[in-house]
Amino acid sequence: MKKYFLILGIGLLTLYQVKAQGHGPIYGLQTPTLAKGGINMNAAGMSIATEDEASYMLRYTFFYGITEDLQVTFTTPTVIERLENAPRTRGNSMMPSNGDIEAALWYRFFSNAFGVGKRFESTAILGVSAPTEDVRGQVNVGNSIHGAISTGYASRTWYAWLGGGYQYYFEKDNQQLGDLPYASMVIGYRPNIFMGDYPKPDWRIFVESLAEFPGDNKVNGQFFSTDERSKKVLVGPSILGLAGPWGISFGALFPVVQDLIPNTHREKYRVSLNISYWL
């Protein structure tokens, strides 16, 4: 734990003063996009632990609003310690929790504001990524593409998002990481006590869930496991705090279902701390 808090401290020191987006969950897919010309920089510290080891990573994400409904994101990691047998996961909604460098477009294609502070909306995501390591989980790792869609409801008090995505890794040197279909669901609540204006702090709480169904890896054109996919469901809390120009969120996921193929390492937890600053 000392090591993890040291990583988070480094993340704080690398944070830039820019306009923030962060008004949602950490792990589940969400729908908000930046206003036209909006800029956001996010610094995150994250860790994934299995039965035998743990990873530690810093990640920096840049957001830019091309229009009110279209934004571009770019995220890059500083990997401090990798997992030798890494689970195939994205981990976080707006950034992968592995060593990939990723660029993505977010397009909010539907939005219906039907009351004061209330709206339904849907957003599609399309991204490409390149790994920062040659081997992941003892398999050569290539570039990948990622697509996802999320829909949900937001008001001044309640939030709910439901989404799903798919990540596909291309073959590299006759080896290929398995694909990753996944789904997420988030319920959020903002207590009435936090409805006031600045300088009163604004806190929101979320219950997040993530289901993942990674496919088998392929070597020399052959799958080297079973025809069945692993199945994993994780659930956990997260919190979001806003005060003046600062935003901070912290969350953890814990596995409640792990139906894994042979020789797959079981997870213990995922934790993440995100910090942002805006003008």
pLDDT digits (tens, 9 = 90+) for 102-160: 999 999 999 999 877 899 999 999 999 999 999 987 889 999 999 999 999 999 899 99
State the Cα–Cα distance between residues 29 and 160, nearest whole angstrom.
Answer: 10
Contact 76, 59 (CB under 8 A): yes
- pLDDT at 205 exceeding the cut of 90: yes
What is the percent of the chain where pLDDT is above 90? 61
The residues pairing with 237 across neighbouring beta strands, listed in sequence order, are 207
Average pLDDT, the chain: 86
What's the pLDDT at 198? 57
Q: C-alpha 190: how far from its chain's center?
A: 21
CB under 8 Å to 163, separation ≥6 — which residues? 28, 29, 30, 148, 149, 150, 151, 152, 183, 184, 185
What's the pLDDT at 24? 81
State the Cα–Cα distance between residues 46 and 13, nearest whole angstrom.
Answer: 15
Note the pTM of the prediction, 2 decimals: 0.87
- pLDDT at 5 exceeding the cut of 70: no
